[in-house]
Chains A and B, each alone.
Chain A
Amino acid sequence: NAGVTQTPKFRILKIGQSMTLQCTQDMNHNYMYWYRQDPGMGLKLIYYSVGAGITDKGEVPNGYNVSRSTTEDFPLRLELAAPSQTSVYFCASSFTGLGANVLTFGAGSRLTVL
């Protein structure tokens, strides 16, 4: 079982460049999420999706875009990268957004913007 797969694991961007972090899950989960974790901080929600074609903003959405064309995939797009977006990004999924809402996380993508 692959679970949640994120690519790339590491990336260095120059200021102003754009890129897409890929996330795919094979558990047929309805809900998918993107979190970022800055050093010494907890995970902050960027965007989430409750199903194909439906996305919504989280706590820190500025500078990012998402799309959900299939149940499996939830890519995160960074436009005009800024040093403040240097972080570790985690994609996660869950069967439901209700109840105990146990999320399954990917291994993370470490992004550095110079």
Chain B
Amino acid sequence: DQQVKQNSPSLSVQEGRISILNCDYTNSMFDYFLWYKKYPAEGPTFLISISSIKDKNEDGRFTVFLNKSAKHLSLHIVPSQPGDSAVYFCAAIQAGTALIFGKGTTLSVSS
């Protein structure tokens, strides 16, 4: 049973436009949510996180929104750049446990 779900395997966006990556979760006990980015032949790298007590966190072009009532979070990238093309993993953690990852969404940004 997947606790963290990324239902869109892929997303294509034009350079300069907004990219919106979505993630749903089932465990209401999750304390933190994180986004990781992964390029081919490399390990995932941390991108941005949000605490369950917040509804928004912003870092430059990246903003994560959390809707606890809907058990939904999203990552917005504005403006999208070709270098943003990668696999994006949503992850969540409950205190005392390990990170649980979604299956990932492959973002392709065309110039």
Interface residues of A (CB under 8 A from B): 4, 33, 35, 40-45, 48, 58, 90, 92, 97-108
Measured CB to CB, the closest approach of chain A to B22, in angstroms, equals: 15
Query: Which residues of chain B (64-106) have a CB below 8 Å from chain A?
Result: 89, 93, 95-96, 98-104
B9 at the interface (CB under 8 A from A): yes
Chain A contacts for B6, CB-based, 8 A: 42
Cβ contact within 8 Å between B104 and A4: no
The DSSP consensus for interface residues of chain A is loop
Known interface pairs A42-B102, A42-B104. Does A101 touch B93 (Cβ–Cβ under 8 Å)? yes
B41 within 8 A of partner (CB): yes
The minimal Cβ–Cβ distance linking B108 to chain A, given in whole angstroms, is 16
Tally A-B pairs: CB < 8 A.
57
Q: What is the interface of chain B, defined by CB distance below 8 A to chain A?
A: 4, 6, 9, 31-32, 34, 41-46, 49, 51, 89, 93, 95-96, 98-104
B44 touches A100 (CB 8 A): no
Q: Are B95 and A98 in contact (CB under 8 A)?
A: yes
CB distance from B47 to the nearest CB of A (A): 10
The smallest beta-carbon distance between A74 and chain B, in angstroms, is: 14
Question: Are A105 and B44 closer than 8 Å at their CB atoms?
Answer: yes
A42 vs B34: C-alpha distance when bound (angstroms): 14
User: In the complex, which of the residues A35, A42, A98 contacts B4, with contact meaning CB atoms closer than 8 Å?
Assistant: A42
B41 touches A108 (CB 8 A): yes
A33-B43 Cα distance, complex, nearest whole Å? 13
Chain B residue at minimum C-beta to C-beta distance from A99: B32
Nearest B residue (CB) for A92? B43
Which residues in B have their C-beta under 8 angstroms from that of A41?
A: 103
In the bound complex, do residue A102 and residue B42 qualify as a contact, i.e. CB atoms below 8 Å apart? no
Are B93 and A108 in contact, with the CB atoms below 8 A?
no
For B32, the closest partner residue in chain A by CB is A100
**One of A43, A58, A97, A99 near B44 (C-beta < 8 A):** A43
Give Cα A92–Cα B46 distance, bound, in whole angstroms: 12
Contact A48 B44 (CB under 8 A): no
Complex: A108 Cα to B41 Cα, angstroms = 7
